[in-house]
Amino acid sequence: MKHLLVILTFLYFVNTVSAQPVIKKPGKDPSAIINQPIRNAPGVTKYDFSDVKICIDKPLPTGNLPPRILPPVQRDPKINRDGSISKTSVSQQGLVSEASPYLWAPGETITVAMSTANSTDFIRGKVMQYAKIWELYANIRFAFVSQWSNAMIRVAFVPNHTSWSVTGRSVLLAPRDSATMNFGWFTNTTAETDFSSTITHEFGHVLGFLHEHQSPNSPLEWNLEKTYEYFRVTNNMSQERVNSQVINKFSSSYTNFSAFDRLSIMCYHFPAALLVNGGQDMPYNTQLSEMDKKYAGIWYPAFIPTPTQYGVITTNDDCDSISFKIEYDVVEKYQVEFNLSLGSMNGKKASWWKQIGIPLTNGTETYLEVLNNSLIPSENHTSSQQSIVFNFIDKTRGISFAKAKFLGIHTPLNLRWDLLSALRGGCRVTLQWNRETCQ
Ligand SMILES: [Zn+2]
Q: pLDDT tens across 367-415, in order? A: 999 998 888 888 888 999 999 999 999 999 999 999 998 888 999 999 9
Q: What is the mean pLDDT of residues 243-253?
A: 84
Which one of 37-51, 193-207, 374-388 scores highest in mean pLDDT?
193-207
279 and 418 co-located in one domain? no
Backbone φ and ψ for 36, nearest 5 degrees, come out as -60, 115
Q: For residue 9, how far is its CA from the centre of ligand 1 (angstroms)? A: 43
Q: For residue 53, how far is its CA from the centre of ligand 1 (angstroms)? A: 11
Average pLDDT, the chain: 83
Q: For residue 132, how far is its CA from the centre of ligand 1 (angstroms)? A: 17
What residues are neighbours of ligand 1 (ion), with CB under 5 Å?
A: 55
Q: For residue 62, how far is its CA from the centre of ligand 1 (angstroms)? A: 19
pLDDT: is 195 or 61 the higher one?
Answer: 195
Give the pLDDT score at 338: 98
Beta strands in 76-179 (DSSP E): 78-79, 85-86, 90-91, 109-114, 141-144, 153-156, 164-165
172 and 314 co-located in one domain? no
Domain count, the chain: 2
Residue 17 has pLDDT above 60, yes or no: no
Q: Cα–Cα distance between 208 and 103 in angstroms, integer?
A: 6
Percent share of the chain, pLDDT over 70:
84
Q: For residue 230, how far is its CA from the centre of ligand 1 (angstroms)? A: 18
Q: Cα–Cα distance between 169 and 104 in angstroms, integer?
A: 6
Give the pLDDT score at 100: 65
Q: For residue 125, how far is its CA from the centre of ligand 1 (angstroms)? A: 21
- The pLDDT-based confidence of 73 (bands split at 50, 70, 90) is low
Residue 252 lies in a domain: yes
Give the pLDDT score at 69: 61
Q: For residue 199, how far is its CA from the centre of ligand 1 (angstroms)? A: 10
Residue 10 lies in a domain: no
Q: Cα–Cα distance between 179 and 181 in angstroms, integer?
A: 6
Q: For residue 55, how far is its CA from the centre of ligand 1 (angstroms)? A: 4
Q: Is the alpha carbon torsion for 413, 418, 419, 423 positive or negative?
A: positive
Query: What Cα–Cα distance (Å) separates residue 53 from each residue in 47, 174, 236, 279, 420?
Result: 13, 25, 11, 22, 56
- Print the domain residue range for 364: 309-435
Residue 253 has pLDDT above 80, yes or no: no
Q: For residue 44, how far is its CA from the centre of ligand 1 (angstroms)? A: 25
Indicate the burial class of 372 (C-beta count within 10 angstroms; 0-12, 13-18, 19 or more).
middle
- Per mean pLDDT, which range of 41-45, 46-50, 236-240, 415-419 is the poorest? 41-45
Q: What is the mean pLDDT of residues 423-427?
A: 91
Q: For residue 117, how far is its CA from the centre of ligand 1 (angstroms)? A: 23
H helix count then E strand count, the chain: 7, 20
Q: For residue 99, how far is its CA from the centre of ligand 1 (angstroms)? A: 21
Q: For residue 193, how far is its CA from the centre of ligand 1 (angstroms)? A: 16
* Nearest residue to 205 via CA among 284, 292, 291, 297: 292
Give the pLDDT score at 88: 63
Q: For residue 394, how far is its CA from the centre of ligand 1 (angstroms)? A: 49
Q: For residue 205, how far is its CA from the centre of ligand 1 (angstroms)? A: 7
Given a contact cutoff of 8 angstroms between Cβ atoms, the answer to whether 215 and 254 are in contact is no
Q: Cα–Cα distance between 380 and 383 in angstroms, integer?
A: 9
Given a contact cutoff of 8 angstroms between Cβ atoms, the answer to whether 293 and 244 are in contact is no
Q: For residue 304, how far is its CA from the centre of ligand 1 (angstroms)? A: 32
Residue 116 lies in a domain: yes
Beta bridge mates, 384: 340
Indicate the burial class of 56 (C-beta count within 10 angstroms; 0-12, 13-18, 19 or more).
middle
Sheet hosting strand 181-182, strand order edge to edge? 141-144, 109-114, 153-156, 181-182, 164-165
- The pLDDT-based confidence of 125 (bands split at 50, 70, 90) is very high
Give the end of a domain, one of 240, 270, 299: 299
Q: For residue 404, how far is its CA from the centre of ligand 1 (angstroms)? A: 68
341 and 196 co-located in one domain? no
- The pLDDT-based confidence of 78 (bands split at 50, 70, 90) is confident
Residue 14 has pLDDT above 50, yes or no: no
Residue 199 has pLDDT above 90, yes or no: yes
Q: For residue 431, how far is its CA from the centre of ligand 1 (angstroms)? A: 52
Indicate the burial class of 279 (C-beta count within 10 angstroms; 0-12, 13-18, 19 or more).
exposed
144 and 40 co-located in one domain? yes
Beta bridge mates, 354: 370, 403
Residue 82 has pLDDT above 70, yes or no: yes
Residue 4 has pLDDT above 50, yes or no: no
Give the pLDDT score at 379: 84
Return the SS3 of 325.
Answer: strand
Give the end of a domain, one of 270, 299, 328: 299
279 and 320 co-located in one domain? no
CATH of the domain at 206: 3.40.390.10
295 and 317 co-located in one domain? no
Q: For residue 347, how far is its CA from the centre of ligand 1 (angstroms)? A: 66
Give the pLDDT score at 90: 46
Q: For residue 369, how far is its CA from the centre of ligand 1 (angstroms)? A: 58
Q: Cα–Cα distance between 432 and 354 in angstroms, integer?
A: 10
Give the pLDDT score at 91: 41
Backbone φ and ψ for 142, nearest 5 degrees, come out as -100, 115
Give the pLDDT score at 140: 93
Give the pLDDT score at 93: 38
239 and 275 co-located in one domain? yes
Q: Indicate the pTM of the whole model.
A: 0.61
Residue 279 lies in a domain: yes
Give the pLDDT score at 42: 58
Q: For residue 154, how far is its CA from the centre of ligand 1 (angstroms)? A: 16
Backbone angle region of 393, left / alpha / beta, with phi > 0 → left and psi within -120 to 50 → alpha:
beta
290 and 328 co-located in one domain? no
pLDDT: is 194 or 304 the higher one?
Answer: 194
Q: For residue 265, how far is its CA from the centre of ligand 1 (angstroms)? A: 9
Q: For residue 268, how far is its CA from the centre of ligand 1 (angstroms)? A: 8
Given a contact cutoff of 8 angstroms between Cβ atoms, the answer to whether 344 and 388 are in contact is no
CB count in 10 Å sphere of residue 319: 13
- The pLDDT-based confidence of 318 (bands split at 50, 70, 90) is confident
157 and 283 co-located in one domain? yes
Residue 367 lies in a domain: yes
